Structure 1
């Protein structure tokens, strides 16, 4: 036992001497470590306005909730502009031109109301304020592209390819910035933007609608809307492209009820045919089936809905019930 103990002490002395020698030795020069560049990540750059975000046209307008996007907002936009235009406007004129630098910048960058509030006020909550205006994202918004030019108000030409984005809903009811809009955004092929607002009696807050071009007018059929604004009959509004005026009309006949999320299946010179799926907007009077709205000579007192019998079972369009009506074909 004694020999083993001294042998262990000798080994400890040798190890200590080795460590001391290593400390006294000059440091060895190390070659610089070569850094290998990692491959770039597959990050898609946002499209440059007026190029839109990609979407699947067959999936319906649910893919249009984000149209334009950017990581930055126009640096010329000041906090003063934000403070002046941050709130949605209650309009009295039909139409009311709401075009301003702040709205235009928000449309081009695709920022949400939350993002704008965070930048200009450093607040991430709006519990102490009303909902703020934003163009994106909006659900239940319609997107209509003109296939021929239309002379509009004040000699303003809407060329073929002009896009009209109508109304839509931002976020859900529990969000601080929840808002259903009643505006129309016009984007010309050259990127020029105009925004129009309307009195709520001619164009209520609308989402989940369809927008169909008939002549020089856009027929806006249906809406989800706020619960307290829903009625028993379908909401029908008409946008006159020549004047940008909006009008609301009461139809007669076999009305399909407060429809939303329907599909426009066919468009005639004097009629629009829509199909309501087997899961219409919950809590409303909408009925499933195919319906034809006659628009002869735009004489609204003579318009009527007529139920069309369909053989077999209807295909449900519940997937678009909360994302707006769409046109097929």
Structure 2
């Protein structure tokens, strides 16, 4: 999840007198717990959490006098403890405690990328408690869900992206957090699980007998794909049931050389051309990157196939992102998603095969013009 800066009090961004330079240096690095629910609370981490302070700005605050004089920039080259995270869950209990679980900082290619396996508890009186766990007790977990069950006595943690070595196609990671002992353990499930899922939604059903899971991404042999079905985890016997079987047609169009697409650069160029007074640079490196003058006509018609269709407005706030576009073809929604190195098309219903193939060929031809490169179509089972 992400944080709204407006929710953070200005005084919480300040380290306070307890956070000395010496103490900051002692606790600035990220670390794991050595025992289950090890109390690792310290003034440095408590400040970083309350103020949602990232490692770079924390280090700038405690830069040496010489570093300040020289104006040197110190980007972390190793994982340092972060108060602002992505993929961290927040679960509030009736007793006033708020449980913040794990999450990650930075992207996988950054030297200070780190997936946490800790627990941060905000108590009703404002106190912050930070607990660490060994990796064998609780794997580093991000983009999971955390659902309170059994009257708040337990939190069920479902899913994760995790580190590559921890992922397993077809298996769903489920952990139980005892809110009294604060022990976390991975539990076995049976039935038909969704698989290695992340970025999904989870909620209790009406009689609190099961957790319903939908959306998100699933790990497959071909990488992460959107989860288009719904699942149920019974709390009585920890068994999974698949609730839907949506046989939607899906395909991906990508460059044959597997290079990243340049659609973001095209979007920025289009914005600069459409809004000349906005201050955006109309001169960019796009032509050099693709080896020819950008084909703006092909880009602007990328998601407008040469058949009768209607462009649709975003359905929800997630679709507000420029990467997702929807159209209607004969009453069926067709969704285009830019996944950086390929475009995924999902046809949310039944269309004649000739129409489906025409949609694929239309996108294939236009993307080849946009990228000035050979492209290929891959059908997803």
TM-score between both structures, scaled by the size of structure 1 = 0.65
1:242 to 176, 180, 198: 180
1:12 matched to which residue of 2? none
Q: Which residue number corresponds to residue 334 of structure 2?
A: none
Is the contact made by 2:195 and 2:219 (CA closer than 8 Å) also made in structure 1? no
Cα drift, residue 182 of structure 1: 0.8
How far does residue 265 in structure 1 lie from its aligned partner after superposition? 3.9
Query: Which of 209, 224, 233 is the aligned partner of 2:161?
Result: 224
For 1:128-277, what aligned pairs fall within 5 Å after superposition? 129-136=77-84, 138-147=85-94, 160-215=95-150, 216-232=153-169, 233-267=171-205, 268-277=207-216
Which residue pairs with 1:98 in the alignment? 40
Q: Is the 8 A contact 1:67 1:110 kept in 2?
A: no
RMSD value over aligned CA atoms? 3.1
Local SS of the residue matching 1:289 = coil
How far did 1:75 drift? 3.0
Deviation at 1:171, TM superposition (A): 1.6
Which residue of structure 2 lines up, in the alignment, with residue 288 of structure 1?
228
**Relative contact order higher in (CA < 8 Å, ≥ 6 apart):** 1
Change (3 A) 1:231 1:101: same
Residue 228 of structure 1: CA displacement? 2.3
Tell me the CA shift for residue 67 of structure 1.
5.9
1:87 aligned partner: 29
Taking the aligned partners of 1:112 and 1:231, their CA distance within structure 2 comes to: 31
Structure 1: how far apart are the matches of 2:246 and 2:199? Answer: 22
- Shift, 1:309, TM fit: 2.4
Shift of the 210–106 alpha-carbon distance from structure 1 to 2, 3 Å rule, reads same
- After TM superposition, the structure 1 = structure 2 runs for residues 33-72 of structure 1, keeping only pairs within 5 Å, are 61-63=1-3, 68=8, 70=10, 71-72=13-14
How many Å apart are 1:258 and its aligned residue? 0.3
Deviation at 1:227?
2.1
Q: Contact 1:261–1:280 at 8 Å: present in 2 too?
A: no
Distance 1:66 1:197 in 2: 28
Match of 2:360 in 1: none
Instruction: Name stretches of at least 5 consecutive residues in structure 1 with no aligned partner.
Output: 1-60, 148-159, 297-301, 323-329
3-state DSSP of counterpart to 1:117 = helix
TM-aligned CA distance change 1:210 to 1:65, over 3 Å: farther
Provide Cα deviations, 1:130-166, integer angstroms capped at 9, x if missing partner: 2110211x1111111112xxxxxxxxxxxx2221111
State the distance in 1 between where 2:80 and 2:9 align.
18
The verdict on how the C-alpha distance between 1:265 and 1:212 changes in structure 2, with shifts beyond 3 A counting, is closer
| Per-residue Cα deviation, 1:23-45 (whole angstroms, up to 9, x for no partner) | xxxxxxxxxxxxxxxxxxxxxxx
| Higher Cα radius of gyration | 1
1:192-239 alpha-carbon deviations (Å, 9 max, x no partner):
110011111221111111110001000000111122221121111111
How many residues are treated as equivalent by the alignment? Answer: 241
Measure, in 1, the Cα distance between the counterparts of 2:121 and 2:46. Answer: 11
Contact residue 202 and residue 237 of structure 1 kept, 8 A: no
Return the TM-score normalized by structure 2: 0.57
Give deviations 1:264-310, integer Å, cap 9, x for gaps: 14334331111135x546824875311111121xxxxx422111127
